[in-house]
Structure 1
C-alpha cells in the first residue's frame, strides 16, 4: 500500500480544502517546494499535486510552482498532477517537464473522446480522477454533480487503457471522517486497473482497513489534511502499511 502525500496548490500556496470548497481553505505552507522536499525526506514514494485554481478555471494556473516542484524532487520519486488539464498539449508539456502521471477528471466525464486520445497518445501516464458524492460523479472542481454512476463510468474509462483510477469521496475530503472503504472496494472489484483511495484519511485505523483490501485492487491512498494537521504521522503510517505487506501485522 503506497501512501501518497497531497500538495494542493492555490495561489502558489500549499492548502487544504474541506469538501472541495474554495472558501474553506487552510494554508499549511507558503512554500510548496519545501513541502514537497519534506515529504520525500519522510519517505514518500510518490507525490500528488492538485492545481486547485486550474481545476476551477479549466486551465493550468500554478504552472511555475509545479515546475519548481518537479525540478526539486521529480528525479527522486514519481509525481502525479491534476487540475485544469483539458488538452493534449498541456499533457505533453507536463510530461516533457518531468511529470510522471497526469490526472484527468472533469474533462474525462465531459469529453470521453479526449480521454481516449490522451490514453492512446500517452500510454502508461494517464490516471482518471473520479470524484463522487453519494455514488454520483462530480465535475468542475467538485462544484457540479452529474447523473453518472461511479462504477459505470469507471468501467467505460478502463477500456480506454488508463493507468489507474483515483476515487475521491468528496463528502469526506478534508473532514477526517475516515476513508469510504465500502465504496472504494466496490469500485476496485468492478475494474481491473488499480484504484487509489482518496478523501477522509484520518488515522492508522484507516491504513489498516485499506491494507486489508489491497488485494482487491486498492494500491494506494492520497494523504491530505491528516498528515498536515498531525492526526497522522506520515512515516509511521507508511511503516505500518509496509508491515502489512510483509505479513508482520
Structure 2
C-alpha cells in the first residue's frame, strides 16, 4: 500500500480546500516546493499534486511548479484541468509520472480510450463522488452518474487505475468513507487509490487492513492531516509498509 502525500496548488501556493469548496481555503505554504522537499526527506517516493486553478479553469496552469517538484526526484501524480491530449503530453514531458484525468473522462469515452491507448501505465482516472454520484469541474457540478457504474465502464475500456475521492469527507478530518471505498474495491478489478477524509494514523491502519483483503488497493492519498500535524509522512509510510 502506497502513501501519496498531497500538494494542492492555487494561485501559486500550497493550500487545502474543505470539501473542494473554492471559498473554504487554507494556505499552508507559500511555495509548493517546500512541502515536496519535506515529503521527500521523510522517505516518500510519490507526491499527489492537484492544480486547483486548472481544475476550475479547464487547463493546467502550474507547469513550472510541477517541473520543480519532479526535479526533486519525486514521482509526481498530477491532476487538474487535463482535458486535451496536448496537456497530457506537456505534463509527461515535464517529468510527471502519472496523469489524472477527471472531468473530460466522465463526458468523453472516446477520449478515455485514446488515453488508454497512448499511456496505459501512466494514466489514472479520477472519480470524485458526492453521495455516490460523480462530480466534475473541480467538484462544482454533480452529475447523475453513479460512481461505481462509471468505474465499471472505465475497467471495460482498459483503464488500469482510478483515484476514488469521497468529496463529503475531503478536508473535513472526520475519517474516510470506508464503506464507500470498500464497495468500489469490490466492484472493479482495477487498481484503486483511496482519497478523502484521512484524519489520523488509525484511518491508515484500517486501510492497511483493507489492503490485506483487497489486492487492488494501490494506496491512500493523505493531505490535510499531514499539514495539521496529526501524524508525519514517516509514520504513515511505516503503517503502509506493514500492510
Same-fold call, TM cutoff 0.5: yes
TM class by smaller structure: over 0.9
1:64 matched residue in structure 2 = 64
Equivalent positions of 1:50-61 (< 5 A) are 50-61=50-61
Deviates more, 1:38-47 or 1:167-176: 38-47
Residues 173-199 of structure 1, C-alpha deviation per residue, up to 9 Å, x if partnerless? 000011111110110111111111101
Whole-Å Cα distance in 1 between the matches of residues 52 and 190 of structure 2?
26
Equivalent positions of 1:100-179 (< 5 A) are 100-179=97-176
Whole-Å Cα distance in 2 between the matches of residues 235 and 131 of structure 1?
27
Residues 207-231 of structure 1, C-alpha deviation per residue, up to 9 Å, x if partnerless? 1110111131212100000000011
TM-score (norm 1): 0.94
TM-score (norm 2): 0.96
Secondary structure at the counterpart of residue 84 of structure 1: coil
Structure 1: give runs of 5+ residues left out of the alignment. none
Whole-Å Cα distance in 2 between the matches of residues 116 and 195 of structure 1?
19
Equivalent positions of 1:88-99 (< 5 A) are 88-99=85-96
Whole-Å Cα distance in 2 between the matches of residues 25 and 229 of structure 1?
14
Q: CA RMSD in A?
A: 1.0
1:87 matched residue in structure 2 = 84
* Structure 1 residue runs of 4 or more that deviate by more than 6 Å after TM superposition: none
Structure 2: give runs of 5+ residues left out of the alignment. none
Whole-Å Cα distance in 1 between the matches of residues 16 and 132 of structure 2?
23
Whole-Å Cα distance in 2 between the matches of residues 186 and 87 of structure 1?
31
Whole-Å Cα distance in 2 between the matches of residues 113 and 223 of structure 1?
31
Whole-Å Cα distance in 1 between the matches of residues 64 and 160 of structure 2?
26
Secondary structure at the counterpart of residue 127 of structure 1: strand
- For the pair 1:229 / 2:228, whether they are aligned, the reply is yes
Aligned length: 241
